[in-house]
Structure 1
Amino acid sequence: MDLDPALAALRPLGGFFVLHVSRPSPPGPLPTLAHTYAPQYGESGADVHVPVPADPLDHRVRRVAGALRAPEARVAASVAQQGLAARLWSVALACAALTGRVPDLAPDLLSWDPDATAPDDLRLAEVRSARPADTSVLADVVLTAHLAPLTAAVHRRYGVATGLLWGNAASALAGAGRELDRWARRHGRTDTAERAGALTAALLAHPLLAGTGVLTGTAFRRRSCCLYYRVPGAGVCGDCCFARPPGSSASPQAPRSS
């Protein structure tokens, strides 16, 4: 199956896997992810117009911090980075598992609305240059083009450890693979489930993700913590390296699903 111009094959999987294919509509232009990752926010080189908001990464981090009542900027930055990583992995892995191809998801083709949630946060200008989806292509499309500059930006600006951020990226990948597996098996698509599982396992062995955790079937146990437990009233995530929030002597709280 080849990719269609609207990526309609992703729609049955639900909003988190959907990618709108269209240029952003008024009231104004959205920032691209190339702009978001720029070493100096507000400068992207490739953009002619100044996107709104001018600093999309900090806008999203502040929005997450407010929603979670996060006590530290780095907690919100970690959660925000993992959320964007999950969106990128979900789209790319779903295209690969369903169609065997992945579109060009270059950062300057993807517009991002830091105020919106899935599926209204990301828009691809057009589907072009679809490539056969193997591990190396997916690594190029997501890890090299997006998650490496995103990790660098979040580490530089908010002081979040790079090992933690790569753990977030691995957790996001494993979560996307797990949800694809569940959907595929519910619909009798064992071939799709097997492709998703094989690609997920192979990507977790990539040098940037190797050692971030252990994948057993579709279950993933990471070796780092995303810091979510620092949010007031929060417990630990389902794949966290901790059984309970550090420093807590109480019984473990129900983990956040991931």
Structure 2
Amino acid sequence: MTGHPHGTAAPGAVIEEIAALGPFFAVSTHPAGAPPAGPWASMTGPLLAERAAGVRAYLAAAGGQPQDAVEPRVAASVAHLGLAARLVSPALAAAVLHRRPLGYDLGAVRWQPALGGPVPVSLPDDALRPALPAPDRLADAVARLLLDGPLAELADHMGALGVSRHILLGNTASAVNGAATALAAARPELAARAHAFTALLLDRPPLRAQSARTPAGTFRRRSCCLIYRAAPDRAGALCGDCVLHGTPA
């Protein structure tokens, strides 16, 4: 498929095309307002805290350490980055492929909070909004409906687990850039459009202060997700976009 820039595709076809981009883009849909039915659950604060605790145990085991060796805020940040990527990726794809924003509350999301790979996610079937062909208006809508909506709610929950707002916003900026990179790899003919739209989104609040470009033009976040601190002696490898590689000129 080549995409329908003016929003002419049926919602089911849009979701199908997005899902074909890869596991971080794949989403299901469910009737808006319907209660979750197993194995699906609502994305609530207690379940998000359980997710962070599970990530902490996983990171500790991966490093051959006791669980107490991994700081709770490190695990919460890593859990947040993975979930932010799961919510950002399909929204970015809907915007780039079809010029359509996604809008929903975090409580309307359904997920299967199992560890190991991208978590299954389902969105309400009314989440797909009408197309906005003008790139600036579309970026404004995605910033309002996604970044100031469910992503802000997700950050509030993870902030309660000890992660600073600066790190959480950096995680979100990293998720946006990562989604654009993955979309461009899956659909090379859309690479220029994906990166151009991502630049518009990263230039809007709340992400404007969270990203920069290296002299080579690559994305660099202005905070660290802290995952390096989960390794023994807190000496793990840094992510490719980490601020600790050095501040861009």
Q: What TM bracket, shorter-length normalisation?
A: 0.7 to 0.9
How many equivalent residue pairs?
218
> For residues 128 and 87 of structure 1, do their structure 2 counterparts lie closer, same or farther at Cα, with a shift above 3 Å needed?
closer
Residue number among 130, 137, 150 corresponding to 1:146 in the alignment: 150
> For residues 78 and 67 of structure 1, do their structure 2 counterparts lie closer, same or farther at Cα, with a shift above 3 Å needed?
same
Tell me what 1:205 maps to. 203
Residue number among 169, 177, 181 corresponding to 1:178 in the alignment: 181
> For residues 136 and 184 of structure 1, do their structure 2 counterparts lie closer, same or farther at Cα, with a shift above 3 Å needed?
same
- Structure 1 contact 17–119 (Cα < 8 Å) conserved: no
Letter of the 2:73 counterpart: R
Unaligned runs of 5+ in 1: 42-54, 245-258
> For residues 119 and 76 of structure 1, do their structure 2 counterparts lie closer, same or farther at Cα, with a shift above 3 Å needed?
closer
Classify the secondary structure of the residue corresponding to 1:88.
helix
Tell me what 1:225 maps to. 224
Letter of the 2:50 counterpart: H
Letter of the 2:81 counterpart: Q
1:89 shift after superposition: 1.0
Classify the secondary structure of the residue corresponding to 1:21.
strand
Q: Do residues 169 (structure 1) and 172 (structure 2) align?
A: yes
Classify the secondary structure of the residue corresponding to 2:11.
coil
Letter of the 2:131 counterpart: P
RMSD: 2.4
Classify the secondary structure of the residue corresponding to 1:214.
strand
Q: After the TM superposition, which residues 54-93 of structure 1 pair with which residues of structure 2 at under 5 Å, given as runs? A: 55-69=46-60, 71-93=70-92
Length-normalised TM-score, structure 2: 0.78
- Following the alignment from structure 1 to structure 2, what is the Cα–Cα distance between the partners of residues 137 and 218? 26
Structure ranking higher on relative contact order (CA contacts 8 Å, 6+ apart): 2
- Following the alignment from structure 1 to structure 2, what is the Cα–Cα distance between the partners of residues 127 and 209? 26
Tell me what 1:21 maps to. 29
Tell me what 2:12 maps to. 5
> For residues 130 and 68 of structure 1, do their structure 2 counterparts lie closer, same or farther at Cα, with a shift above 3 Å needed?
same
> For residues 28 and 19 of structure 1, do their structure 2 counterparts lie closer, same or farther at Cα, with a shift above 3 Å needed?
closer
1:72 shift after superposition: 0.8
- Choose 101-110 or 219-228, whichever is displaced more: 101-110
Classify the secondary structure of the residue corresponding to 2:243.
coil
1:119 shift after superposition: 5.6
- Following the alignment from structure 2 to structure 1, what is the Cα–Cα distance between the partners of residues 78 and 156? 15
- Following the alignment from structure 2 to structure 1, what is the Cα–Cα distance between the partners of residues 158 and 56? 14
Quick check: which one's helix share is greater?
A: 2
> For residues 212 and 104 of structure 1, do their structure 2 counterparts lie closer, same or farther at Cα, with a shift above 3 Å needed?
closer
Unaligned runs of 5+ in 2: 61-68, 133-137
Classify the secondary structure of the residue corresponding to 1:239.
coil
The Cα offsets for residues 191-235 of structure 1, whole Å up to 9 and x where unpaired, read as: x22221121101111121112121468731112111111012521
- Choose 230-239 or 164-173, whichever is displaced more: 230-239
1:26 shift after superposition: 4.9
Residue number among 11, 23, 41 corresponding to 1:30 in the alignment: 41
1:93 shift after superposition: 0.4
- Following the alignment from structure 1 to structure 2, what is the Cα–Cα distance between the partners of residues 159 and 25? 29
Classify the secondary structure of the residue corresponding to 2:48.
helix
- Following the alignment from structure 2 to structure 1, what is the Cα–Cα distance between the partners of residues 177 and 128? 26
Tell me what 2:141 maps to. 137
Classify the secondary structure of the residue corresponding to 2:238.
coil
Length-normalised TM-score, structure 1: 0.76
The Cα offsets for residues 59-84 of structure 1, whole Å up to 9 and x where unpaired, read as: 11011111111611100000111111
1:172 shift after superposition: 0.8
- Following the alignment from structure 1 to structure 2, what is the Cα–Cα distance between the partners of residues 229 and 113? 27
- Structure 1 contact 97–195 (Cα < 8 Å) conserved: yes
Classify the secondary structure of the residue corresponding to 1:63.
helix
